[in-house]
Structure formats: structure tokens, C-alpha cells
């Protein structure tokens, strides 16, 4: 039920003098209590807005008996004019001094004189004073263990039937467990006259949690709506964290501050709602899934998260995001941490702006049947101008379009622009890392990128390649290893020892363990085995060492090379 419908029901309930029970159910943080208190306080000043003269709000959090509940109602009862005010000695005095409560005052003195200090008996007797008033009972799901749901609902029924009270119950019924849940369900229809599910939309929750209208507030509110966050407390916490970090961003542009605010909503969602939001580990895997490097099957909920994050432009988790996440988790941000990522903030904003401008250039091509070839040249020019922040995938799409439409003279400048701005980024220069969906990699793009990689690849000794943090399965690395003569394979086995030799052996052995190696990988394995056999000929001890590594001392047939050897 929407917020407006529940608010209407609350107003009707308060304006009627009829003894009845209203139940408002909803998840934690959705604003049930806020809406009840706000509307009750607003109604108190309206003519006929509240029919009864007394009111009490009680939370059952930790309450373990009906006696405690009665005591809480007595202590928190205020007059109609004080609904929504914090109970105090003044409000208590006002309740006792009203004309219609004069007999109650005398009754309190009488009961206290008879029962003395027997508090439980006094409270039970004074419970007779609770009549013809409004009672709000909140947090039923958080009551003490010694108090059952059936006891609470039984007492609520008593207040309605015997004491002429109007009672409203606020709770998260989904949090009830076991016997309490069964008792609540069994007594609900017998006790409650009207049962409402309070389920505000993300738009309604965001409007309640963030009433401000400044630009940052609007961005946080909109991103919360996009993510479907309907928990008012969570939205408020996220907005508070964004407000907390803003003074540390005074040196940055408005676009940077707004970009960080939007990113913080995602990080706050993940931190504050771990049961309904994706985990940090899930976010770390987004880039691999998008680029096709991780084909792990996702559950339906994970597929929904993936689609949602893709729709709002979240493509990967970077160090900036992690710093924001840590700040939200810790409850504070430091100027040092913010300054350390200043360039990341700036580049992230520039990249977003660049991507949008390039997207608009493509729109002119996609969504018109009246313009001419100038829009295609506009796509190329846009890429050339924005190449620093665009990807190899973007370049391939532009080049493919130009080739299909015979604008060959524009292809080289597009590729030149990309290489000039990305030549120091090995991943950007790797055509195998392009995620092309249903496209085909342009041959000239692949040739030019590979040429740059070959020119700029550091010429390392073979032992450093094998023992370093190199991707040994990269075809360029395989090609480079094959460039070394066979004697170098034997040399590195004899010259090195300890951890260095261990790393070299693991590197060479890696090609023996591949289930379907390429011919180049098989050749590396042949050279490795040939070198090990020469080392084995040195002594009986070396022979023993080599054999234990699963290498045959007789030169095997070519087909045997592909068989995985014993692990090192």
C-alpha cells in the first residue's frame, strides 16, 4: 500500500471515536513509525482531527510482561494537544490535571495507599486508568523473550473491548519467528479490525529521507530510486555520508562531486543492505564478466543486479570506489585519502563526460534517416578528439563503420589517435582483450596494435620472463620465449638455484599442464624437456631429480609432449 493510502487510513482512524485496532505492517526502515507520528501530530491541531483526549506511544523493545506494557502506557500518556511531544513531568501533570481525569487523580492516591510499594499490584490496579484513549504499540517483533505475541494481542483486545481504547500496532511481521509468528497469524483476524501493509515505493522513501532540493541531494535521491532502495534509514545514512565527504571535495568541480555522490550511493547500498544488495566481491567480478573472462553462471538475483548496475553505467570497481566503501564502513573520510585519489576522481568524471559525448555522436548516425555522411565523419572525429578516454572496442566499432562505408581515409587517423593516447597501457594494446559482442575485430586494428606491443615490449632475459609476473599464456609471451635458442633453456637451469630456479621450473612446467596446448606451447615444452635431459646426464643425483619431475629420459614421440607431467 502506498504512503498516501496509509496516511489516509491513519487520519480516518484518529478522527473516529470508535474503539478499534489498526495494524500497520512493513519492513524495518520503511517509515511506519515516522508516518504514524507525523500524521498523528499533524491531526492534533485540526478540528475533529483526533477524537479521543489521551494518547500514548509505547515501544515493546525489550518489554517482558503485560505489567511492563501497562506501566509504559501509563508513563507515556499525554493529552491530545501534546500528541507527538516527548513525555515529561509537565505532560504527565497535564494528563492528571484535566477535568475528565480528576477522578483518576483520586484513584491513584487510593490505590497507592492500599497497595503501598507493591509495584506490580499498583501498576495492575492503575491499569484501570487506561481507558478511552489512543494507544500506539510499536516494535512487536522486538519484544522481550518472556512476552508472547498472544499475550500482547490478548491485552490489545482487552483495551479495545473492555476499556474502549483505539489501538494501533506497528511491526515488521516478517521478523517474527516460530511460535510468535504462528500466534500472531492465529490472533490477527480476531483482534485486528484493519490490517495494512506499508510498502512505500523507492520514490516515496527517497522523498521522505531526503527532503532537500540542492543538486547533491537530487543526485543521491535519484540514484537511490534507480537502485530500488526503499529503506528510509538506509537512504538517510547514505545521504549523511555524502554530506560528510562534500567539504573534503571543495577543490574539485561540481561534476566530480556529483560523480562521487552517485558512486557513494552504490557503496552505501552494498554496505547497509547486505541481505538485499550485491557484495563487494560481486562488484569486483563485474569487469571480468563484462569482458567475457569469467563465464560463471549467475543466479537470477545476481543477473538482476548485473543488469541494474549496467543500466546505471557501473562497469567496474576501482580503487576510488573501494576508498568510498571503506569510508562509509568506518564512518569517516580523511583528506589524505581523498587527495590520494584526486586524479582518479578527475579522470573518472572526464571519462564519463567523454563517453556521453561520443555516444551522442553515434546517436546522430543511429536515429535519423535525413542526415548524410557527415554524421559518420562526426563519429570518427568525435573518437579522435576523445580517444584518451575511449576503449579499443570503441575504436573497432568506428573503424568497422568507416570501412563498411568506404571512408578509408578516416581509418588511420582514428587508430593513430588511439595508439597515441594508450601506447603505455599494455592491456589497451592487446587486441585479444577486446570484448566485441557480435562484432569482428578489424584486421588493420589488430595488426597496428600488435605492432605497437612488439615495439614497446621490454626485452627481458628468458629467465626473467619465466619467473616474473608475466601472463605466460599470452601468445606474445609464447612467441618471445620461442625467440630464445634451445641452449638458453639449458643455461638457465644450470645458472640459477633456489627460489629463482623454482620460479623458472614452474614457468616452463606450466605449458606441460595445459589440456589443449598450441603447437608453439608444445615446442616450448620440447625444449624444456630436452634441456632437463641434458642436466640429468650430469650425475645420478640430477638424473633422480629430473625423473621425479615426471620427465622421461628418452626423447618421447611428439604426441607425448602434450601429456600433463607431474606437478612441481
Task: Tell me the per-residue pLDDT of 94-143, one tens digit each, with 9 for 90 and over.
Answer: 544 443 444 444 444 444 444 444 455 555 556 667 899 999 999 999 99
Domain total in the chain = 4
Q: Contact, 431 vs 460, CB < 8 A? A: no
Section 344-369 average pLDDT? 86
Name the maximum alpha-carbon separation found in the chain.
113
| 136 in the same domain as 121 | yes
Q: Does 556 lie in the same domain as 517?
A: yes
Tens of pLDDT along 507-538? 999 888 887 788 888 999 999 999 999 999 99
Q: Is residue 418 domain-resident? A: yes
Q: Cα–Cα distance between 543 and 269 in angstroms, integer? A: 61
Among candidate residues 311, 340, 369, the one where a domain is terminated? 340
* Secondary structure class of 551 (helix, strand, coil): coil
User: What mean pLDDT is predicted for residues 190-208?
Assistant: 92
pLDDT band per the 50, 70, 90 thresholds, residue 568: very low
Compute the average pLDDT of residues 272-292: 84
* List of residues 6+ apart from 495 with CB closer than 8 A: 463
- Is there a single domain that holds both residue 88 and residue 191? yes
Q: Are residues 330 and 387 in the same domain?
A: no
- Domain for residue 567, yes or no? no
- 345 in a structural domain: no
Tell me the C-alpha distance between 36 and 58, whole Å.
Answer: 13
Predicted confidence band at 343 (pLDDT cuts at 50, 70, 90)?
A: low
Domain match, 220 and 185 both? no
pLDDT at residue 501 in the model: 93
Exposed/middle/buried for residue 95 (C-beta within 10 Å: 0-12, 13-18, 19+): buried
Tell me the pLDDT band of 295, cut-offs 50, 70 and 90.
low
Mean pLDDT estimate for the chain:
86
pLDDT in tens, 418-442: 999 998 887 788 888 788 877 899 9
- How many whole angstroms separate alpha carbon 257 and alpha carbon 250? 8
In this structure, are 188 and 74 located in the same domain?
Answer: yes
**Model's pTM, two decimal places?**
0.57
Task: Give the Å distances, CA to CA, from 225 to 7, 207, 218.
Answer: 21, 10, 11
Tell me the pLDDT band of 90, cut-offs 50, 70 and 90. low
**Residue 443 belongs to some domain of the structure:** yes
Mean pLDDT in residue range 375-385: 95
In the predicted structure, residue 553 carries a pLDDT above the cut 50: yes
Please report which confidence band the pLDDT of residue 346 belongs to, taking 50, 70 and 90 as the band edges.
confident
Distance from C-alpha of 355 to C-alpha of 369, rounded to nearest angstrom: 24
pLDDT value at residue 292: 59
568 in a structural domain: no
Q: Which of 74-83, 103-112, 355-364, 551-560 has the lowest mean pLDDT?
A: 103-112
If you write DSSP's letter for every residue of 135-167 in order, what string do you get?
A: EEEE-GGG--TTS-HHHHHHHHHHHHHTT--EE
65 and 177, same domain (yes or no):
yes
Sequence-distant (6+) residues with CB within 8 A of 100 are: 53
175 CB contacts (<8 Å, ≥6 apart)?
28, 141, 142
Residues 219 and 290 in one domain: yes
**C-alpha closest to that of 394 among 347, 439, 427:** 439
What would the mean pLDDT of 6-34 be, rounded to a whole number? Answer: 93
Determine whether 97 is exposed, middle or buried from the number of CB atoms within 10 Å of its CB (0-12, 13-18, 19+): exposed
Instruction: Mark which of 170, 200, 230 sits at the end of a domain.
Output: 200
Q: Is the pLDDT at 16 greater than 70, yes or no? A: yes
| Pair (163, 278) in one structural domain | no
- Mean pLDDT, to the nearest integer, of 435-460? 84
Question: Residue 142 to residues 171, 173, 431: CA-CA distances in angstroms?
Answer: 9, 10, 58
Question: Is residue 504 over pLDDT 60?
Answer: yes
Q: What pLDDT was estimated at residue 564? A: 42
Same domain, 446 and 467: no
pLDDT at 478: 86
More confident residue, 136 or 471: 136
- Per-residue pLDDT reduced to its tens digit, 54-88: 999 999 999 999 999 998 998 889 999 999 876 65
What is the model's pLDDT at position 316?
82
Compute the distance between CA of residue 36 and CA of residue 57 in angstroms, rounded to an integer.
10
Same domain, 23 and 115: yes
pLDDT of 294 > 70? The answer is no
> Which pLDDT score is estimated for 88?
56
Is 490 inside any structural domain? yes
Cell of 368: 535519423
For residue 63, give the CATH number of its domain.
Answer: 3.40.50.300
In a domain, 196, yes or no: yes
pLDDT (0 to 100) of residue 482: 84
438-454 average pLDDT score = 90
Give the residue from 200, 224, 241 where a domain finishes: 200
Residue 171 lies in a domain: yes
Q: Which domain holds residue 277?
A: 203-340
Same-domain pairing of 131 and 245: no
Predicted local confidence at residue 477, as pLDDT: 85
Amino acid at each position: 500500500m502506498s504512503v498516501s493510502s496509509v496516511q489516509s487510513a491513519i487520519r480516518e482512524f484518529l478522527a473516529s471515536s470508535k474503539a478499534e485496532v489498526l495494524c500497520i505492517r512493513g519492513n524495518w526502515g520503511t517509515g511506519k513509525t515516522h508516518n504514524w507520528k507525523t500524521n498523528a501530530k499533524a491531526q492534533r491541531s485540526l478540528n475533529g482531527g483526533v477524537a479521543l483526549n489521551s494518547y500514548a506511544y509505547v515501544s515493546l523493545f525489550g518489554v517482558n510482561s503485560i505489567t511492563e506494557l501497562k506501566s509504559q502506557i501509563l508513563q507515556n500518556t499525554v493529552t491530545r494537544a501534546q500528541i507527538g511531544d516527548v513525555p515529561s513531568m509537565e505532560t504527565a501533570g497535564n494528563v492528571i490535571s484535566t477535568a475528565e481525569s480528576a477522578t483518576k487523580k483520586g484513584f491513584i492516591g487510593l490505590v497507592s495507599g492500599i497497595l503501598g510499594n507493591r509495584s506490580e499490584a499498583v501498576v495492575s490496579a492503575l491499569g484501570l486508568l487506561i481507558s478511552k484513549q489512543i494507544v500506539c504499540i510499536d516494535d512487536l517483533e522486538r519484544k522481550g523473550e518472556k512476552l508472547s505475541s498472544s499475550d500482547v494481542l490478548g491485552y490489545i483486545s482487552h483495551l479495545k473491548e473492555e476499556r474502549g481504547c483505539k489501538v494501533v500496532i506497528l511491526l515488521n511481521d516478517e521478523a517474527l519467528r516460530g511460535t510468535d509468528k504462528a500466534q500472531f497469524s492465529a490472533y490477527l483476524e480476531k483482534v485486528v479490525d484493519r490490517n495494512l501493509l506499508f510498502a512505500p515505493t523507492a520514490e516515496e522513501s527517497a522523498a521522505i529521507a531526503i527532503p532537500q532540493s540542492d543538486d547533491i541531494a537530487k543526485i543521491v535521491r535519484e540514484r537511490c530510486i534507480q537502485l530500488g532502495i526503499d529503506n528510509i534509514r538506509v537512504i538517510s545514512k547514505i545521504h549523511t555520508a555524502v554530506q560528510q565527504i562534500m567539504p573534503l571535495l571543495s577543490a574539485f568541480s561540481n561534476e566530480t562531486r556529483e560523480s562521487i555522490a552517485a558512486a557513494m550511493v552504490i557503496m552505501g547500498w552494498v554496505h547497509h543492505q547486505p541481505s538485499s544488495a550485491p557484495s563487494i566481491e560481486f562488484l569486483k567480478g563485474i569487469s571480468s564478466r563484462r569482458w567475457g573472462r569469467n563465464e560463471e553462471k549467475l543466479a537470477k538475483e545476481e543477473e538482476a543486479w548485473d543488469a541494474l548496475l549496467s543500466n546505471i553505467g557501473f562497469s567496474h570497481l576501482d580503487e576510488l570506489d573501494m576508498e568510498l566503501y571503506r569510508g562509509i564502513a568506518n564512518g569517516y573520510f580523511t583528506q589524505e585519502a581523498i587527495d590520494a585519489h584526486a586524479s582518479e576522481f578527475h579522470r573518472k568524471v572526464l571519462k564519463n563526460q567523454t563517453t556521453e559525448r561520443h555516444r551522442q555522436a553515434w546517436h546522430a548516425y543511429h536515429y535519423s534517416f535525413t542526415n548524410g555522411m557527415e554524421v559518420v565523419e562526426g563519429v570518427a572525429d568525435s573518437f579522435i578528439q576523445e580517444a584518451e578516454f575511449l576503449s579499443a572496442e570503441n575504436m573497432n566499432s568506428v573503424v568497422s563503420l568507416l570501412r563498411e562505408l568506404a571512408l578509408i581515409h578516416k581509418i588511420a587517423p582514428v587508430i593513430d589517435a588511439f595508439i597515441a593516447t594508450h601506447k603505455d597501457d599494455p592491456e589497451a594494446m592487446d587486441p585479444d582483450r577486446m570484448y566485441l559482442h557480435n562484432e569482428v575485430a578489424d584486421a588493420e586494428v589488430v595488426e597496428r596494435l600488435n605492432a605497437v606491443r612488439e615495439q614497446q615490449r621490454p626485452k627481458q632475459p628468458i629467465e626473467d620472463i619465466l619467473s616474473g609476473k608475466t601472463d605466460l599464456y599470452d601468445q606474445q609471451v609464447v612467441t618471445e620465449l620461442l625467440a630464445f635458442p634451445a641452449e638458453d633453456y639449458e643455461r638457465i637451469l644450470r645458472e640459477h638455484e633456489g627460489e629463482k630456479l623454482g620460479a623458472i621450473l614452474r614457468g616452463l612446467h606450466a605449458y606441460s599442464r595445459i589440456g589443449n596446448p598450441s603447437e608453439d606451447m608444445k615446442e616450448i615444452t620440447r625444449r624444456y624437456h630436452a634441456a632437463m635431459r641434458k642436466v640429468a646426464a650430469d650425475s645420478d643425483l640430477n638424473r633422480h631429480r629430473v625423473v621425479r619431475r615426471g620427465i622421461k629420459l628418452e626423447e618421447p614421440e611428439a604426441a607425448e609432449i602434450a601429456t600433463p607431467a607431474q606437478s612441481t
